[in-house]
Structure 1
């Protein structure tokens, strides 16, 4: 099933540079969140709860593949 594209007056897709910029912002935001979670987990949170630190690390481990999928989304069209 193909997603319907947004209808515009001209029917022209957004420029490649704009789509790339949006995907890059999402990628860097997710990777920044990943780094922040790891730093906070093992420098701050582990002092109170090792379990919470491990949980934060697990979430941080899942974020890079998600960031890559978002960064490459829609390039095969």
Structure 2
């Protein structure tokens, strides 16, 4: 099955620099969420619930691979 490229209204693809900037923003936003979850889990939440802190850490552990996949999505075409 062939995937179609996203094109602008005039039929021209967005510049590489714009696509790179968008991917970088997504990557840094996801990694920021990951860092925030870890910091909150082990500096604040663990005082009330160790289980919740471990669950937050587990979610934070899944975010980096997802961030890499999102940052590189569609650039192999």
What is the TM-score when the length of structure 2 is the normalising length?
0.91
1:20: how far off?
A: 0.4
Offset of residue 65 of structure 1: 0.1
CA spacing shift, 1:32–1:7, aligned 2, 3 Å: closer
1:12 alignment counterpart:
12
Equivalence for 1:22: 22
CA contact (8 A) 2:7 2:14 kept: no
Q: Show structure 2 runs of 5+ residues with no match.
A: none
Q: Which residue of 2 aligns with 1:41?
A: 41
User: Number of matched residues?
Assistant: 76
Distance 1:70 1:36, change over 3 A: same
In the alignment, what sits opposite 1:63?
63
1:6 deviation in Å? Answer: 4.3
* Matches of 2:26 and 2:74, distance apart in 1: 14
Aligned residues: CA RMSD: 1.3
Cα deviation, residue 46, structure 1: 0.3
Give the drift of 1:4: 5.7
1:5 deviates by 2.8
